[in-house]
Amino acid sequence: MRRGIASLWHASSLVIAGALYFLFVLPRWFELTGQWPATLGTVMRIVCGVLVLLTALPVLLTLQRTRKPELGTPTLALQLRVWSIVGHVAAGLLILGAGISEIWLDLDNVGQWLFGIYGAAAALALLGAFAFYLAFVAELPPPPPKPLAPKREKRGRGRKTEAVEETAVAEPDADAPKADTDEAEADQTESDQTESDEKTADATEPEATDESEATDEPAGKLRNRRPTGKTRRTRTRGGVATEN
Give domain status of residue 42, yes or no: yes
**Could you tell me the residue range of the domain that residue 30 belongs to?**
3-138
Question: Which helix H or strand E contains 93, and what residues bound it?
Answer: helix 75-101
DSSP state of 242: E
Provide the 10 A C-beta neighbour count for residue 89. 19
| 129 contacts 14 by C-beta, under 8 angstroms | yes
Give domain status of residue 231, yes or no: no
Q: Is the pLDDT of residue 62 over 90?
A: yes
Give domain status of residue 104, yes or no: yes
Question: Which helix H or strand E contains 192, and what residues bound it?
Answer: helix 157-224
Give domain status of residue 7, yes or no: yes
Give domain status of residue 150, yes or no: no
Question: Alpha-carbon distance 74 to 67, whole Å?
Answer: 9
The pLDDT of residue 214 is 44
Q: What does the pLDDT look like over 111-129, one tens digit per residue?
A: 899 999 999 999 999 999 9
The pLDDT of residue 33 is 87
Q: What does the pLDDT look like over 5-23, one tens digit per residue?
A: 999 999 999 999 999 999 9
Mean predicted lDDT score pLDDT of the chain = 76
Q: What average pLDDT does this structure show over 139-161?
A: 71
pTM (two decimals): 0.58
Helix ranges restricted to H, 104-156? 107-138
Give domain status of residue 89, yes or no: yes
Give domain status of residue 116, yes or no: yes
When divided into structural domains, the chain yields a total of 1
The pLDDT of residue 227 is 54
Question: Alpha-carbon distance 122 to 48, whole Å?
Answer: 11
The pLDDT of residue 12 is 94
Question: Which helix H or strand E contains 152, and what residues bound it?
Answer: none
Give domain status of residue 237, yes or no: no
Measured CA angle at 98 (ends 48, 47), to 5 deg:
20
